[in-house]
Amino acid sequence: WSPDDVTVIFVLGGPGAGKGTQCSKLVADYGFKHLSAGDLLREEQDRPGSEFGEMIKTYIKEGTIVPMEVTVQLLENAMKLAMEKEKKTMFLIDGFPRKLDQAHAFERSVVPSKFTLFFDCPEDVMEERLINRGKTSGRADDNPESIRKRFRTFVETSMPVVHEFESQGKVVKVEATKGPDDVYDEVKAQLKERGV
Ligand code: UP5
Ligand code: MG
């Protein structure tokens, strides 16, 4: 496949900002293929025989970033599969890139992003959402200690990615504090402005 034939939109925002929620809505209305890096890593972690399972488990619990080779490969495989089997060309890459090295590697070796949809949300709001979800999610990182670590990684490691894309004029920022439908209305308006 050729990079000219695919459109990639990165979806970033802090833990619990609502990336997954908004991506599901976008899939229903626009036919994007939604690929969550976190979901792909959790699947790989649980895949019998995976040589990375234990490592991924540790990184996720500690809220740190899994070495990029693993994540980029999982994303690339999933993209190829979606192109071949589902004839998809439009991708929402959710929760990635969250470190500068990943951003550079992906845009160099896979495809440059069209832009980044960035969900801006205060920590206290995100924390409440995650604690709530933790009651039923079964996610190993939805506990107060892991949440604190995820917030720290987001500020220290992932925000520099957002700032770099911002300096290239490639960030579409959406305020993510209101309810899911209000946030989505703004997403749709912003995408329209960008010709999507
Ligand atoms: N909710 C959502 N929107 C709401 C709204 N507007 N109003 C009220 N409630 C709202 O939402 C979270 C919760 O809030 C849900 O209960 C939802 O109903 C509610 P969700 O849409 O799931 O938010 P999201 O931003 O997707 O939160 P998530 O927890 O998935 O974000 P993370 O970025 O922390 O998780 P992710 O799965 O992307 O990554 C997990 C870990 O994987 C990372 O910490 C890291 O260790 C690892 N990772 C890597 O190492 N490398 C990568 O490239 C990616 C991940
Ligand atoms: Mg998510």
The 3 state secondary structure assigned to the chain is CCHHHCEEEEEEECCCCCHHHHHHHHHHHHCCEEEEHHHHHHHHHHCCCCCCHHHHHHHHHHCCCCCHHHHHHHHHHHHHHHHHHHCCCEEEEECCCCCHHHHHHHHHHCCCCCEEEEEECCHHHHHHHHHHHHHHHCCCCCCHHHHHHHHHHHHHHHHHHHHHHHHCCCEEEEECCCCHHHHHHHHHHHHHHCCC
At 60, the pLDDT band (50, 70, 90 cuts) reads: very high
Q: Name residue 35's beta-bridge partners.
A: 93
Q: Which of 40, 43, 129 to mutate to test the pocket of ligand 1 (most atoms within 8 A of CB)?
A: 129
Judge if the beta carbon of residue 134 lies within 6 A of ligand 1.
no
Q: Name residue 94's beta-bridge partners.
A: 11, 36
> Cα 143 to chain center, whole Å?
20
Q: Quick check: ipTM above 0.95?
A: yes
At 138-149, the pLDDT tens digits run: 999 999 999 999
Annotated binding site for a ribonucleoside 5'-phosphate: 42, 64-66, 95-98, 102, 139, 150
At 2, the pLDDT band (50, 70, 90 cuts) reads: confident
CA-to-CA dists, residue 33 to 28, 88, 99, 167, 175, angstroms: 10, 6, 22, 27, 23
Judge if the beta carbon of residue 14 lies within 6 A of ligand 1.
no
* Token code pair at residue 43: 């699947």
Nearest ligand 1 atom, CA 96: 53
Judge if the beta carbon of residue 20 lies within 6 A of ligand 1.
yes
Ligand closest to Cα of 12 equals 1
Q: Per-residue pLDDT averaged across 53-58, rounded?
A: 98
Other C-beta atoms closer than 10 Å to the C-beta of 37 total 24
Judge if the beta carbon of residue 17 lies within 6 A of ligand 1.
yes
Q: ∠51-57-60 over CA atoms, to 5°? A: 130
Q: Which of 21, 44, 121 to mutate to test the pocket of ligand 1 (most atoms within 8 A of CB)?
A: 21
At 84-134, the pLDDT tens digits run: 999 999 999 999 999 999 999 999 999 999 999 999 999 999 999 999 999
Model pTM score = 0.98
For residue 104, the model assigns a pLDDT of 98
CATH number of 3-190: 3.40.50.300
Q: Classify the C-alpha dihedral 19-157-172-194 as positive or negative.
A: negative
Annotated binding site for ATP: 16-21, 133, 178
More confident residue, 133 or 3: 133
* Token code pair at residue 17: 């900002």
Nearest ligand 1 atom, CA 178: 6
- Nearest Cα residue to 117 out of 2, 3, 6, 18: 18
